[in-house]
Amino acid sequence: MDCQGGHYLNKTGYPATYFDEDNVRPQCSYCNRRCEGRHPCFREGLISEIGADRVEALEQRRHGKLDWTREVYIERIKHYQELLHIAGYKA
């Protein structure tokens, strides 16, 4: 299976939540690309995993503004590279 980072709330409509860890989960490329993420199923899965309160909070955050600086992006890159390293992947 070809796995991608699927987003419950997409970056085009909701850039404020694009990098939100509650918004991203592994998803097969077919569902992610061809089925536009299967959002109703994605939402149900998120509720099962993180609870309705966090999903509803994510849905509220989507209306915010993503105002990260270059330094914040660099820090996030380092953070995820470290997580990949811990998991045994080469970044």
Cα 39 to Cα 8: distance, rounded to the nearest angstrom: 6
Residue 71 forms part of a structural domain: no
Q: Let me know if residue 56 belongs to a domain.
A: yes
Among 4, 62, 1, which residue's Cα sits nearest to residue 33? 4
Which helix (DSSP H) or strand (DSSP E) does residue 50 occupy?
Answer: helix 39-50
9-28 per-position pLDDT tens digit: 988 888 899 889 999 999 99
Q: Is residue 32 part of a domain?
A: yes
Cβ neighbours for 7, distance < 8 A, ≥ 6 positions apart: 17, 18, 23, 24, 37
pTM value?
0.79
Residue-level pLDDT at 6? 93
Q: Which of 60, 27, 66, 25 is nearest to 46 (CA)?
A: 25
Report how many domains make up the chain: 1
Does some domain include residue 49? yes
pLDDT digits (tens, 9 = 90+) for 51-60: 999 999 999 9
* Residue 9 belongs to domain spanning: 3-65
